[in-house]
Chain A
């Protein structure tokens, strides 16, 4: 260690102190945004260094797509090819939802680390350490949806919506992932530890996925179950993805999906921010 710590690139102590009364009382919107981006960058570096944490959006979609298509294809749609337009779009909903679990679990793990104490002591927006990773996780949903489509196409799926329709479906899937992730981020802020968060998240993820139209048409379900499955935001998203990818059409289903996701965000984002700020 050298004897001097002066560095010309920042203010000196006396410069900072002479302007104490002029220091802002809150971070500005532009600062909040740039802090969120810096923390999103941190999250992507973390993804790069811990590739095993990406299995749920890489290996898993490949495995599940092949597995579900070959197992259920004959039983549900007569043959695998006829099932592909149903299952591939359904699986996109399922993989994105699974990927959301990691958002909550990793948030919990992060919050338990010393580096979060540092975030708390910095003059940064309280929301930035939450918003940063959630922004970066959109990359994970993108990878998951692109891979699922790719595997489907390799298996013979020919989406009727063409390139534009599929691109629209992917954009919707990524936005759906970001919106649904608020549910799991909330679990992340209220759970005692990462295992606990993982536990609750699985318990919620399974009914949300299977009590939907992801794998089977809801017409075959008993009435009460069908009512739930049809109102499930995951079903709304999958309907919209099907219309976009298979028809290339922006239908009412897309509107319903947007509304469903907006409701999820409107409920869970404030809950998350509140319990998170309490921890801060």
Chain B
């Protein structure tokens, strides 16, 4: 994906938010987020479960009240003009929000009617969308018989009935198989090609990388970084070398070698003898291995992987090391990318301030 972002020459940005706050009890789920989404771009909001991504999106989509701060969608105040904003947006949630009691075509008919289409036109648009999303064979089946991917497709189809200029996608591919995920990505690209602006949340670095022109990384209700995928990756390294030493007692020696050869700070995994090395260039892996070999440090395994969300977080927030004390990361979990921390505890916890001044320069 390119790092330049298209613009249709419109005046107000698709989304402009300043100092957004949402508090649930004592928990500041969204804690002062600024956001600007340019018309025609795909803007990715990346973060683990509980980071505040969905809460932020729901505030922008008029689904939750805004406790503090201001948000505008195409120049329209979200708080004062919710009805106008709702005419400009489409929302596809994390969990398919279609009616279980209706068939696919009945769902499209219902939402078409609710959006002001006449009965006949609602049927025509519904049939077109079913065809475009490959659901025409399932048109008259109850949703309860749909697979997860089919539901998600229908959900997106419903959001597109009136072709809203701004589409919110809340974790559009969470839980989908790789093939369906690829199809979803294609659809999102097509939408943008036709002039829509997309704001999507995701837990997958890969997804943000594939789709987004720009990415904001959200952690504990705050934006910790923003930039193009390339800019973010240059912070993190493009890949990770995962090593397992044959003799865990020689870990310190191995870390010295890695530091010398790769120039990056390696991260120890909870398993004895495990070392993760973030690398700007995957080819450095060979140098590291040769370095270890020349010191007679034997390994049992070595793999080169793309950075996971965990590692992005490690690089941007220093969490893993901080949360688990001395022995480094809480392990990489490539499957769901969840980071082992939950909601914000205290806003004044030590180390918090320097964690947040690492924002990349905002791209405009």
A residues neighboring B (CB under 8 Å): 1-7, 9-14, 16-17, 20, 23-27, 31, 34-35, 38-39, 41-42, 45-46, 49-50, 113-124, 128
Contacts and interface: CB of A to CB of B under 8 A. Distances in A.
A203 B90 CA distance: 42
Interface in B99-149: 99-102, 106, 110-111, 113-117, 121, 124-125, 128-129, 131-134, 142
A209 B305 CA distance: 69
Given A5-B132, A10-B125, A24-B83, A17 B96 contact: no
Contacts of B129: 7
Contacts, number: 143
B163 interface: yes
Listed from nearest, the 7 A-B pairs whose CB atoms lie closest are A114-B97, A123-B86, A13-B195, A118-B97, A38-B113, A121-B91, A7-B128
Contacts of B191: 5
Contacts of A23: 84, 87-88
A128 B111 CA distance: 13
B187 A9 contact: no
B162 A11 contact: yes
Interface stretch (B153-161, B210-218, B289-297): B153-161
B81 A25 contact: yes
Given A20-B88, A25-B84, A2 B132 contact: yes
Contacts of B87: 16, 23-24, 123
Contacts of B142: 49
B88 A120 contact: no
A2 B111 contact: no
Given A1-B132, A1-B186, A14-B8, A122 B125 contact: no
Interface string B153-192: 1000010111111000000000000000001001100110
Contacts of B63: 117, 120-121
Nearest to B98: A115
Contact of B153 (A1, A25, A114, A122): A1
Contacts of A24: 83-84, 87
B121 A9 contact: yes
Contacts of A7: 125, 128-129, 132, 163
Interface of B: 8, 10, 61-63, 74-76, 81, 83-84, 86-91, 93, 95-102, 106, 110-111, 113-117, 121, 124-125, 128-129, 131-134, 142, 153, 158, 160-165, 183, 186-187, 190-191, 194-196
A1 B114 contact: no
11 contacts: A2-B134, A7-B163, A9-B117, A13-B196, A23-B88, A38-B114, A39-B110, A114-B97, A118-B158, A121-B91, A128-B114
A25 B132 contact: no
Contacts of B132: 1-2, 4-5, 7
B128 A9 contact: yes
A26 B81 CA distance: 9
Of B160, B194, B196, most buried by chain A (CB within 10 Å of CB) is B194
Nearest to B134: A1
B120 to A, nearest CB: 10
